[in-house]
Structure 1
């Protein structure tokens, strides 16, 4: 087995597996999306009516933080695909719920990364709208509540209170649509370049 690094898998995945998503003007592809106010990040997020996270585990990575990451991903992502080197496949299959997609990332003898789908991602049955709402900034949450007709006094609470109010007013699909719109309107919040 040839050793792999996160960055080379990520670049190849953007180029080979996310080509269609990058060319779709209705889809956002975001590197290193912070979840639950940055307590964890997912390597790549694809947002288009659904938040699909892709987490990369290269041959040089370890899985010490994986359980903690997985817990966050289960609460916040509607779909999750793990892109893993062969040395992690058995442990990942053992730890990940059966709705989590798994893609094997192998390096060929000439250095190219090859992907093969072990298991396709399905909808996460345990996603929690309250944790998904944490993707919004406080001002964005207040703006959405104003549009929903929530009185101004109820829009002055803590971030946690505002999230609770918001998820009591919208279903998760509408929440994700609102999050996508907010992501699109944010100015200079992502300084890193996409690896296409």
Structure 2
């Protein structure tokens, strides 16, 4: 990953979005003025900049944000109704945070491991998630599939984000119906459990 890719990725952070909403366009200016990026980014409008930036990232730097977007597009919007489903990002589960949680009558957790991530904490994360969610998947690139398969318990599913940015289920998650109620209560904020 080079500096140009990092600058583009920063456009999608909450700090950058808040700054732009407040009128501070410095992050957009960095992208527009970077010669490596300007040839790849359409700069007619803020929408065009973001759309081109996402396309650039999805081809050159598939970070967690890119994975989350493909899950939202292809699983939430592609398979479920926005009227009856909720997608939560960074849901706290004990000492861990589930990257994405889809609620729609079934609770499904998606733990993302990109090309840039370590798998050191994966086993601990999954042990937390199977106590709280009906289904748990690890979403990763093909290059991590073998390592992930060696770590995960039998009931965890695997989804691969292919090089052409399609999601392919390699292994279906097995439904779990034994939940740790005390862990659930610890995961919810006071307003949520009241």
TM-score of the pair, normalised by structure 1: 0.61
Determine helix, strand or coil for the equivalent of 2:162: strand
1:118 aligns with 2:162: no
Provide the alpha-carbon RMSD of the alignment: 2.2
Determine helix, strand or coil for the equivalent of 2:153: coil
1:51 aligns with 2:107: yes
Greater CA deviation, 3-12 or 79-88? 3-12
Determine helix, strand or coil for the equivalent of 1:99: coil
Structure whose residues are more often helix by fraction = 2
1:70 aligns with 2:126: yes
Give the CA deviation at 1:104: 0.9
Distance 1:20 1:133, change over 3 A: farther
Measured in 1, the distance between the counterparts of 2:112 and 2:70 equals 12
- Once the two structures are superposed, residues 101-159 of structure 1 have per-residue CA deviations (whole angstroms, 9 ceiling, x without a partner) of 11111223xxxx12111011121255323212323334654x4xxxxxxxxxxxxxxxx
Aligned to 1:183: none
Distance 1:137 1:11, change over 3 A: closer
Measured in 2, the distance between the counterparts of 1:128 and 1:5 equals 31
Determine helix, strand or coil for the equivalent of 1:102: strand
Is the CA contact 1:55–1:83 (under 8 Å) kept in the aligned structure 2? yes
Determine helix, strand or coil for the equivalent of 1:75: coil
Measured in 2, the distance between the counterparts of 1:30 and 1:22 equals 14
Is the CA contact 1:33–1:44 (under 8 Å) kept in the aligned structure 2? yes
Distance 1:137 1:82, change over 3 A: same
Is the CA contact 1:77–1:132 (under 8 Å) kept in the aligned structure 2? no
Is the CA contact 1:4–1:107 (under 8 Å) kept in the aligned structure 2? no
Q: What number of residue pairs does the alignment pair up?
A: 135
- Once the two structures are superposed, residues 73-113 of structure 1 have per-residue CA deviations (whole angstroms, 9 ceiling, x without a partner) of 122222101111112111211211221111111223xxxx1
Distance 1:45 1:140, change over 3 A: closer
**Bigger RCO (CA 8 Å, 6+ sep):** 1
Distance 1:44 1:34, change over 3 A: same
Give the CA deviation at 1:56: 0.9
Unaligned runs of 5+ in 2: 1-59
* Superposition pairs of residues 40-189 of structure 1, within 5 angstroms: 40-108=96-164, 113-124=165-176, 126-138=178-190, 141=193, 143=194
Distance 1:137 1:7, change over 3 A: closer
